[in-house]
Structure 1
Amino acid sequence: MMSMTALAAALLSISCAQGDSLVVGGATLKPVPAKALQDETFRSLTIELVIEASMVTPINLDYADLNGGAWDQPPLEGTGFQSGDRAIYTVVADDPHETLGGSIELTMAYGNLVTIEFGWEDGSAATCDASDPDIQALALQTELEDSMSTAPVCTVYFMNPPGTMTD
């Protein structure tokens, strides 16, 4: 009988093309595409900004900071948003147990700050909140979707307050 070490060495020495398969002990083994392996070993948290407010634009991104994970595409400080704009920022982790989290700070046209804080610790639900300590000319709404998946999405809506005129 072949030892496990010898079997592993034999399998590692054989190269298979993507469509090829290998028969070992009656079982057919096929190579797994690298993308499929990557999809199984990471998680992400997406922050989507939806600018529907016309009264407070432009809205400028002041900074974005992470305390866990890495930006897929980092937000660019100084980016300005107008009514009708959308922006998507995704924080990823190569380790399925890594904590994801951070904050994004935006300045409204009238000078107030909106802070979006988000996080996702291993073994707990993702969180996301947007706040303006002196909210008057803006209505914020935060929705967390797919919170039980490996890729939840936090959507933050910037809207005109109820009862105001829109464009």
Structure 2
Amino acid sequence: MQIDYKLSIRDQLIKIFQKNPHLIRYKYSGINDDTIYDGEINQDTVQNESPKFFTLTLNTDGVQLCNKSKMSIRPIILVLNELPIGERFCFDNIIIAGLSESNGKTALGFLFNQIKNELKTLEEGVYLFQDIYIKVYFNLTASVFDKPAICSF
């Protein structure tokens, strides 16, 4: 038996931007900060793409609850790459896109389709603030999976 939980990525992004208002000022004013971008192509894309956008990295890894049980939990998380490294992986800045609980092998196809649909909406741009009329765009730039997750599609 498997139970999947899909959480709103947009709602979690709103909370992150409320806690980190400097992100919008940085992106839309051209102010440089200590954010580290890996690779020349990513740097060029982020700096030259119009309209400006934010990038996300997706990760999932399963956790078996105990050695004697087949019960496992597989969180699917996203991080906002524009946050400085020291803040990027803080609990308050991690986005839990979904969670799959299973008794045995996990099938992630249905849950990933739901997440993919929301990511497509975010790619087209969303308004995250009621008082700031800036359309914010998000692109998924990388995904990291272990072998069992790859096999579950």
> Normalising by structure 2, what TM-score?
0.26
More helix by share: 2
Which structure is higher in RCO with an 8 Å CA cutoff and minimum separation 6?
A: 2
